[in-house]
């Protein structure tokens, strides 16, 4: 309470809105129905981890799933500037508020203040605010390999160690993020989607070729 009262409001930073938009799914894309079904079936887990090299359709596949699921979601495409803790929280706040405009009021006060509290305070308010969301919700963090700040890693670890019951997090990356995957997996709280699963089958390659030939 005292910390909140000491924070002076200032104008918010400009938002690059394309960072909050999931990839478009074009008509000629192949729909990987089995993977989409698996993503849907495992959304009760706190975390889905999608790891593969560039060009394997990680983001598009997740976007296809979000287009089919009935659960509401937000998308955040990360880049180097998100290694700044305040920027990270600022964008995460606004991504969630694209769906729930009146949510995360405590965190909103902090990230719009002239001084940023320590990360551990921000994390606690974030978790509490997420627990108050009125319905099941999916948060997608794309291009997580762009993050190299250990404090940001701790944010994800803390959330996954204290998972809000109605939030499912999807982390998309070209390599394993330095979070405690072993512990999460040991509690059966993780759905792991890897390169071997994202590779096209022979039938899918034929389908893709036919779609391109018809364009």
pLDDT in tens, 77-124: 999 999 999 899 999 999 999 999 999 988 888 888 777 888 889 999
Q: What local confidence, expressed as pLDDT, does residue 4 receive? A: 45
Contact (Cβ atoms closer than 8 angstroms) between residue 146 and residue 80: yes
pTM of the model: 0.85
Q: What local confidence, expressed as pLDDT, does residue 146 receive? A: 96
Model confidence at 202: pLDDT above 50: no
Mean pLDDT of 11-39: 83
Mean pLDDT of 35-44: 93
Q: What local confidence, expressed as pLDDT, does residue 179 receive? A: 81
Band of pLDDT at residue 136, cut at 50, 70 and 90: very high
Buried b (16+ CB within 10 A) or exposed e, 181-208: beebeeeeebbbbeeeebeeeeeeeeee
Q: What local confidence, expressed as pLDDT, does residue 210 receive? A: 55
- Give the span between the Cα atoms of 173 and 65, in whole angstroms: 17
Strand 137-142's sheet: what is its strand order? Answer: 72-77, 137-142, 167-173, 47-51, 190-194
Model confidence at 211: pLDDT above 60: no
Band of pLDDT at residue 188, cut at 50, 70 and 90: confident
Q: What local confidence, expressed as pLDDT, does residue 69 receive? A: 96
**Mean pLDDT over all residues of the chain?**
84
Q: Indicate left, alpha or beta for 76 from its phi (over 0: left) and psi (-120 to 50: alpha).
A: beta
Mean pLDDT of 179-206: 72
Distance from the Cα of residue 19 to its chain's centroid: 11
Band of pLDDT at residue 189, cut at 50, 70 and 90: confident
Model confidence at 7: pLDDT above 50: no
- Give the span between the Cα atoms of 121 and 115, in whole angstroms: 13
């Amino acid at each position: 309470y005292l910390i909140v009262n000491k924070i002076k409001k200032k104008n918010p930073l400009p938002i690059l809105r394309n960072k909050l938009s999931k990839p478009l799914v074009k008509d000629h894309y192949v729909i990987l129905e089995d993977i989409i079904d698996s993503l849907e079936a495992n959304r009760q887990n706190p975390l889905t981890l999608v790891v593969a090299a560039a060009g394997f359709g990680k983001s598009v596949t997740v976007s296809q799933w979000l287009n089919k699921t009935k659960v509401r979601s937000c998308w955040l495409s990360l880049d180097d500037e998100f290694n700044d803790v305040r920027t990270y929280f600022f964008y995460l706040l606004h991504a969630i508020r694209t769906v729930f405009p009146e949510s995360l009021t405590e965190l909103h006060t902090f990230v719009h203040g002239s001084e940023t509290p320590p990360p551990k305070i921000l994390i606690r308010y974030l978790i509490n605010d997420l627990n108050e969301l009125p319905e099941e919700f999916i948060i997608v963090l794309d291009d997580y390999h762009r993050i190299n700040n250990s404090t940001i890693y701790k944010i994800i670890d803390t959330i996954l160690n204290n998972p809000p019951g109605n939030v499912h997090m999807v982390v998309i990356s070209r390599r394993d993020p330095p979070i405690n995957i072993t512990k999460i997996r040991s509690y059966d709280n993780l759905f792991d989607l890897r390169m071997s699963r994202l590779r096209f089958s022979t039938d899918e390659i034929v389908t893709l070729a036919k779609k391109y030939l018809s364009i």
